[in-house]
Amino acid sequence: MKQLYFDVAHLLAGGLVLASFVLLYQDRMSGLINVFTVQAILLSFSVGWQAHIQRAPHLYVTAAIALIFKALVIPLSLQNMIERMRIHREIEVVGGIGMTMLLGIALVALSLVVVLPATAAADPLAREDIAFALSVVLLGLLMMVTRRNAVSQVIGFMSLENGLILAATGAKGMPFVVEISVAFSVLIAFIVIGIFLFRIRERFDTVDLQELDRVRGDQR
Partner 1 sequence: MFDLAAQGSQMSAVLTLSPLVVGFINKVKARFLRRSGPPILQPYRDLLRLLRKETVLADHASWLFRSTPYLVFATTWVAAALVPTFATGLLFSWSGDLIAVIALLGSARFFLALAGMDVGTSFGGLGSSRETMFASLAEPAMIMIIFTVSLIAGSTQLSEIAASTLSHYQLRVSFGLALIGLAIVAIAENGRIPVDNPATHLELTMVHEAMILEYSGRHLAMIELASALKLLLYLSVIACIFAPWGLATANGDARAFVYGVLAYLAKLAIGGFLLALFEVSTAKMRVFRVPDFLGAALMLGLLGTLLLFVSRSF
Partner 2 sequence: MPLTIALWSIAAMLALAGVVAFNQRVDATRIVYGLCFGFCLILFCTTIIPRGAVALTATLPLGLPWVGAHFRLDVLSAFFLAVVNLGGAAASCYAIGYGTHEKHPLRVLPFFPAFLAGMNLVVLSDDAFGFLVAWEFMSLSSWALVLAHHENAENRQAAFIYLMMASFGTLSLLMAFGLLAGSVGDYSFTAVRAAALEPWKSSLILALTLLGTGSKAGLVPLHIWLPLAHPAAPSHVSALMSSVMTKVAVYGFIRIVFDLLGKPDFWWGIAPMTLGAITAALGILFAMIQSDLKKLLAFSTIENIGVVFIGLGLALAFRANSLGLAAALAFTAALFHVFNHSLFKSILFFGAGAVETGTGERDIERLGGLIRVMPCTAFVLLGASLAISALPPFNGFVSEWLVFQAILLSPSLPQWSLKLIVPAVGVTLALSAALTAGCFVRAYGVAFLGRARSRAAAGATETDRWSLSAMSALLGLCLVAGILPSFLIDTISPAARQFVGGRMPAQGEIPWLSIAPIAESRSSYNGLLVCIFIVVSAFLAARVIHVFASRKVRRGAAWDCGFPDPSPMTQYTGSSFAQPIRRALGNVVFVAKDHLDMPTPGDMRAARLGIEIRDRVFEYLYAPISRSVGFCADQLNKAHFLTIQGYLSLVFAALVMLLLVVAIWR
Chain residues binding partner 2 by CB under 8 A are 96, 98, 109, 113, 117
Rounded Cα distance between 93 and 162, Å, is: 25
Polymer length in residues for the chain: 220
First-residue to last-residue Cα distance in the chain? 59
Minimum distance between the CB of residue 173 and partner 1, rounded to whole angstroms?
Answer: 23
Listed residue (143, 123, 147, 125) closest to 135, CA to CA:
143
Residue 73 or 106: the one with the smaller Cβ distance to partner 2 is 106
List CB contacts of 181: < 8 A, sequence separation 6 or more: none
Look at residue 124 and give the partner it binds from partner 2, partner 1, none, a contact being a CB closer than 5 to 8 Å depending on partner kind. partner 1
Look at residue 7 and give the partner it binds from partner 1, partner 2, none, a contact being a CB closer than 5 to 8 Å depending on partner kind. partner 1
Cα three-residue angle 104-42-55, rounded to 5 degrees: 120
- CA 76 from centroid of its chain's CA atoms: 16
Minimum distance between the CB of residue 113 and partner 2, rounded to whole angstroms?
Answer: 6
Residue 23 as a binder of partner 1 (CB under 8 A): the answer is no
With contact defined as beta carbons under 8 Å apart, do 119 and 130 qualify? yes
Residue 110: HSE in the Cβ half-sphere, 13 Å Cα cutoff: 12
Look at residue 41 and give the partner it binds from partner 1, partner 2, none, a contact being a CB closer than 5 to 8 Å depending on partner kind. none
Minimum distance between the CB of residue 48 and partner 1, rounded to whole angstroms?
Answer: 17
Residues 92-121 binding partner 1 (CB under 8 A) are 97-98, 101, 104-105, 108-109, 112, 116
**Residues of the shown chain interacting with partner 1 in the complex, contacts defined by CB under 8 A:** 3-4, 6-8, 10-11, 13-15, 17-18, 21, 25, 97-98, 101, 104-105, 108-109, 112, 116, 124, 128
